[in-house]
């Protein structure tokens, strides 16, 4: 796995880079600003970029959006000193593949980066669930706005009653990958099964509020 690291604290980024390299990962660049990270990702096309959320002149979300659009093959995982559910929502909405707390161990960080590269949502399960709890009971489909394009595809398959194997064939992925996408979707919706997901949409969805791509 090829990694670009970006944090404005030089000692932190160098220590983390050395620790990941010692574990066999290829740290291709270490940046101190979002602009440097953007240039490094463009140059090296890494598998993943670990990007600090907060910098002296603001957050890195603008850079994240540019990076996700310009280099879609690179998974961008946000790194933060505070595990704030709203920050998770903001990062994932901007195109991040994950959100990690700086208090995590290096082994846990490495495992999460691998999850992101494998196409999973790299966020601790409890934090992800708190992030996508609806703000009120009046909007049970609130979390739909945070689904990725692939999760919309999975949701459409679920509403058609397709099995995991059928979803995998539909999406052109392995069965294990399809299963991961289904679990990520269920977690974001705050439900425990495909039946609950379908029931949620059946109970609360309408032609006015369902996105066209779900109805297609």
Of 96, 103, 15, 16, nearest to 53 by C-alpha is: 96
- Give me the residue label for tokens 């979390």: 143
Q: How far apart are the first and last CA of the chain?
A: 37
Choose among 201, 91, 98: nearest CA to 155.
201
147 has a pLDDT exceeding 80: no
Per-residue pLDDT reduced to its tens digit, 74-124: 999 999 888 777 788 888 888 898 999 888 899 999 999 998 998 888 888
Q: What domains can you pick out in the chain, each with its CATH number?
A: 2-130 (3.40.50.2300), 134-215 (1.10.10.10)
pLDDT at 153: 87
Region 28-48: what's the mean pLDDT? 95
For position 209, what pLDDT does the model report?
A: 47
The structure tokens listed for 173 are 């992925």
pLDDT greater than 60 at residue 139:
no
Res 137: pLDDT:
47
Q: Is the pTM of this model over 0.85?
A: no
Whether the predicted pLDDT of 129 surpasses 70: no
Residue pair 83/57 in contact (Cβ under 8 Å)? The answer is no
- What's the rounded mean pLDDT across residues 21-25? 95
Judge contact between 214 and 152, C-beta under 8 A.
yes
Residue 169 reports pLDDT greater than 60: yes
Q: What pLDDT score does 167 carry?
A: 92
52 φ, ψ (degrees, to nearest 5)? -60, 145
């Amino acid at each position: 796995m090829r990694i670009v690291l970006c944090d404005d604290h030089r000692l932190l980024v160098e220590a983390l880079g050395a620790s990941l390299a010692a574990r066999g990962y290829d740290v291709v660049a270490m940046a101190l600003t979002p602009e440097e990270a953007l240039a490094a990702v463009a140059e090296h096309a890494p598998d993943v970029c670990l990007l600090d959320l907060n910098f002296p002149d603001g957050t890195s979300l603008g850079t994240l959006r540019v990076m996700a659009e310009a280099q879609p093959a690179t998974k961008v995982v946000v790194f933060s000193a505070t595990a704030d559910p709203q920050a998770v929502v903001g990062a994932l909405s901007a195109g991040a593949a994950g959100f990690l707390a700086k208090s995590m161990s290096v082994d846990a960080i490495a495992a999460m980066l691998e999850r992101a590269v494998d196409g999973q949502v790299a966020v601790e399960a409890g934090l992800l669930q708190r992030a996508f709890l609806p703000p009120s009971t009046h909007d049970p489909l609130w979390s739909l706005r945070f689904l990725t394009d692939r999760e919309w595809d999975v949701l459409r398959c679920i509403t058609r009653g397709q099995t995991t194997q059928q979803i995998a064939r539909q999406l052109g992925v392995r069965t294990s990958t399809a299963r991961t996408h289904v679990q990520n979707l269920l977690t974001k919706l705050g439900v425990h099964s495909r039946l609950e997901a379908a029931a949620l949409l059946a109970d609360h969805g309408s032609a006015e509020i369902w996105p066209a791509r779900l109805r297609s």
